Amino acid sequence: MKKLCLIFILLCANSIVYSDGIKIGAWGNYTAVAMGDFNNYMKVVSDSLVTSGYTVDYNKMQNAITGGLDFGYEIFPVLVGIKVGYLNCFPVKFGSKKGLSYDNAQLDMSLISLLGGGSYSLKVAKDISIKIDAYTGLGLSNVSMSDSTASYNAEAKAAGCSFVGDFSIGLEFVVLSGVEFEVNTGYRLAKTARVNITSNKGYSYQIGDPLTDFSGKALEMDFSGVTVGAGINISF
């Protein structure tokens, strides 16, 4: 599935045609990420260690930053194109200690997306438009984790593929001829049902195994959440 995602991304990236009416945008957002499955699992681990007498300190996976580029062909008020994005979650750091026994772990998660869709702009005043975006496509989820104790060190990576939907509404302001500044808010739907181990050193997983909770159930990586951001659009 990972290979299919990469092939899809390469094919779409090579399909851009440059001509009159092209609009290129660069954007960045703050976003929440749901990660309900993962955060519940972390709480179970924490509660279990606390019950055993450990001191535990960790943060939830719930915030991220994302950015990317849009490429589209515009016949005002409609634009059709593709959106390439990269989302990086703030890392989770998990520490536990009991006497001389300790465990320090870190997890990093990211999402690369290639979406197709478009936007509709409605002019509401001179040099000001309301813009509605709707894009769907594929996302490639990546997980990197490490664990360090007094007796061993472990590292592993996992990846998975999923559907992604990105929807937003915002205001677009003309600042120069052919240059617009945009502020927006929206929602991203991106649930990866499972991520499979791609490399491993020290964990009990085998290559190809899904990342699981204590019961053996695959952990869902849910990058869905509300977004707030801004961007610059340039027309040619």
Distances (CA, A) of 197 to 60, 67, 133, 143, 179: 22, 26, 34, 9, 44
- Cis amide prior to 210 (ω within 30 degrees): no
Distance from C-alpha of 25 to C-alpha of 186, rounded to nearest angstrom: 17
Distance from C-alpha of 68 to C-alpha of 84, rounded to nearest angstrom: 6
Res. 235: pLDDT tops 50: yes
Torsion angle, CA of 82/225/67/93, rounded to 10 degrees?
A: -140
Sketch the domain layout of the chain as residue ranges. 2-8+25-235
As a whole number, the mean pLDDT across the chain is: 91
pLDDT of residue 40: 95
- pLDDT, one tens digit per residue, over 67-83 is 999 999 988 789 999 99
Contacts of 23 (CB under 8 A, 6+ apart): 70, 71, 72, 73, 74, 79, 81, 233, 234, 235, 236
- pLDDT, one tens digit per residue, over 119-135 is 999 999 999 999 999 99
Please name the CATH architecture into which domain 2-8+25-235 falls.
Beta Barrel (2.40)
Distance from C-alpha of 144 to C-alpha of 152, rounded to nearest angstrom: 17
pLDDT of residue 214: 87
